[in-house]
Structure 1
Amino acid sequence: MASSKKLATTISSIASAMYFLLIIFQIPLFRVPCRFGICRTPIEITSSQLIASELFPTYLVKILLYPGAFPYTIIKNHTLPSYGKLLNLYNTTGSRKSTAISDLQRLEIVAGSYLSVVGAFVGLWRRGRMSLFGTMLIMWGLLRENILGQFHGMFHTKSIQMCPMLVVAVVCAFLSIKKDVRKLIHGSKARRVKLF
């Protein structure tokens, strides 16, 4: 019993840390039009909403965006921008294609992005279901827009895509919940006992 509890704690800690790294380093999970142009991560959607609504000071949004600039500059072979010019990297000063109406059409993706970002930070201290709900909301929003776009022609489905890393994020978010991991461990042990 103690070993399954320890194993569940280890698995949930590793999964929670992996989910945090996926979110904070802005590994592309999807492709959706937003106020930045095209957003690929929950942090980009959250930051675009925070900048547009002016709820938080810009320096807090820059702190949220800065860790993701490292992988972006390595992939694109650019130099790392200074803290003052960070928003130029994300094209926040240019034209904002999305309006509030198109953001309301993607409400699940916006709400899921907020939950994913907050769940990634909270999951480091206290693992819960917030990150799982966030990624599931994002996945549901992307599927809904693709399905509605195919049947009703309401949305532009070419600009809305899911990346394979979204599945990895869902698995990490699920495995970060210690209670569910313990149930999986107990269920697999019970099946092994029944087989022998």
Structure 2
Amino acid sequence: MANPSSSSKGWVSNISSIAARIFFFLIILQIPLFRVPCRSGLCSTPLHVTSSQLIASEIFPVVVVKTLLYPGAVANGLVKNMAVPSWDSLLDIYNLTSVKGASAVTDLQRLEVLAGSYFSVAGAFVGLLKPGRMSMFGMLLIVWGLVKEGILGRPVNTDPSKAVYVYPTMLLGLICAFSSVKYDVKKVIRSAAPRPVAKPLQSSSKSKLK
């Protein structure tokens, strides 16, 4: 007979693995989640925000950034005009050719979105090997940055065309990021199990009878 705790643990493990894979495809295929001003103009995915910052700071070689962007560029090209973009035109497609000379004020004003995008992209790749909390932490940072700008109005934006916008797919990203976290079922069962009531010692009960 199968152990209920082991079967439930396997079920949770499968859910977290599936959620981590879905989140990976959301990131690598660049499904639009939000719209915020960035160094390259307007960014709609965590990978686009991360790529613009990587190109501007020259942390990684350009070929690494192109490798990250190419799967999403191919998917978007096939969906929009049934054409595969060329490797050499990737930086032009994402308007990344002039980000080195662009002002860093835009990124500094949205540090939460920038940091959250870094964590989301890194968490998407790490989650394929071992699902963890990095993706969830990144998405929470992005949401806080968007809420701060959209509701609190910080920083102040006077251009309606550059206003912050959240796509419905953001909810799917949040669900996948939270579901990809592995929880220890044994600890949950132990914490939920009723604790035994302490019985009085025999010596103390006898002394009361006397």
TM over 0.5: yes
1:46 to 43, 50, 57: 50
Q: Is the 8 A contact 1:34 1:97 kept in 2?
A: no
The residue aligned with 1:155 is: 157
* 1:193 aligned residue: none
Q: Percent of aligned positions with the same letter in both sequences?
A: 53
Query: Comparing both structures, which one devotes a greater share of its residues to helix?
Result: 1
Show the counterpart of 2:134. Answer: 130
> Bigger shift: 121-130 or 88-97?
88-97
| Aligned-partner Cα distance in 2 for 1:156–1:24 | 32
Aligned length: 185
Q: Deviations over 1:42-89 (max 9, x none)?
A: 000000000011111100000010011122112321521221221111
Answering whether residue 46 of structure 2 is matched by residue 80 of structure 1, we say no
Of structures 1 and 2, the larger Rg is shown by 2
Specify the alignment match of 2:198 in structure 1.
Answer: none
> AA paired with 1:43?
L
Structure 2 segments unaligned to the other structure (5+ residues): 194-210
The corresponding residue for 1:106 is: 110
Tell me, in whole angstroms, the C-alpha distance in 1 between the residues paired with 2:12 and 2:183: 8
**Runs of 4+ with deviation above 3 angstroms:** 94-98
Distance change in 2, residues 1:96/1:154 (3 Å): farther
Whether the 8 Å CA contact 1:32–1:38 is kept in 2: the answer is yes
**Worse overlay, 108-117 or 84-93:** 84-93
Aligned mates of 1:33, 1:101 — CA distance in 2: 11
Q: Which runs of 5+ in 1 are unaligned?
A: 191-196
Compared CA separation, residues 133 and 153, structure 1 to 2 (3 A)? closer
Q: Which residue of 2 aligns with 1:29?
A: 33
Q: Cα RMSD over matched residues?
A: 2.5
User: So what's the TM-score if we normalise by structure 1?
Assistant: 0.86
1:71 aligns with 2:75: yes
Q: Which position in structure 2 is the counterpart of 1:89?
A: 93
Q: What TM-score does the superposition give when structure 2 sets the normalisation length? A: 0.80
